[in-house]
């Protein structure tokens, strides 16, 4: 227990550590929000008709383990939902479920062009980065 009048975590801890979190973001992305109904293609990937850009800036992309039980069939093809954790600056615009994240630059060239959809947003009492959980549907090549 801290001494009276002191705090274990100082009140400015989050804002003080935001530059550290941002410096670990070595990729860049664009996040867009659909303004129209959009369509779902034959592989289950949703494609918005129109979108408004709500964030452009640094990010960090980390692939999440694929749950083998999540394979599903769409038409005659098997698809696997691939999930990614995308971290952006805390003070970015409010991100909503369904927003689209497109990676525009990354150290790993294989990530460039990756487009995912936000399926969850992590909130925390310490506010130094915003963590998004996203998903992309891809054909199963196995």
In a domain, 2, yes or no: no
For position 27, which CATH number holds? 2.40.10.270
In a domain, 7, yes or no: no
Instruction: Spell out the SS3 assignment of the chain.
Output: CCCCCCCCCCCCHHHHHHHHHHHCCCEEEEEEEECCCCEECCCCCEECCCEEEEEEEEEEEEECCCCHHHCEEECCEEEEEEEEEEEECCCCCCCCCCCEEEEEECCCHHHCCCEEEEEEEECCCCCCCEEEEEEEEEECCC
Q: Which domain holds residue 100?
A: 13-139
Count of the separate structural domains present in the chain: 1
- Average pLDDT value for the chain: 82
pLDDT in tens, 104-134: 999 999 999 999 999 999 888 777 889 999 9
Q: How confident is the model at residue 141 (pLDDT cuts 50, 70, 90)?
A: very low
In a domain, 134, yes or no: yes
In a domain, 4, yes or no: no
- Most confidently modeled of 21-25, 97-101, 135-139? 97-101
In a domain, 1, yes or no: no
């Amino acid at each position: 227990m801290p001494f009276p009048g002191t705090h274990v975590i100082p009140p400015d801890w989050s804002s003080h550590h935001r530059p550290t979190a941002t410096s670990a973001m070595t990729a860049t992305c664009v996040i867009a929000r659909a303004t129209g109904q959009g369509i779902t293609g034959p592989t289950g990937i949703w494609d918005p008709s129109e979108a408004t850009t709500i964030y452009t800036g640094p990010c960090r992309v980390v692939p999440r383990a694929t749950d083998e039980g999540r394979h599903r069939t769409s038409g005659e093809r098997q698809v696997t939902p691939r999930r990614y954790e995308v971290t952006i600056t805390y003070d970015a615009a409010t991100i909503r479920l369904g927003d689209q994240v497109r990676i525009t630059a990354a150290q790993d060239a294989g990530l460039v062009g990756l487009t995912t959809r936000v399926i969850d947003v992590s909130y925390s009492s310490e506010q130094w980065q915003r963590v998004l959980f996203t998903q992309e549907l891809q054909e199963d090549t196995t």
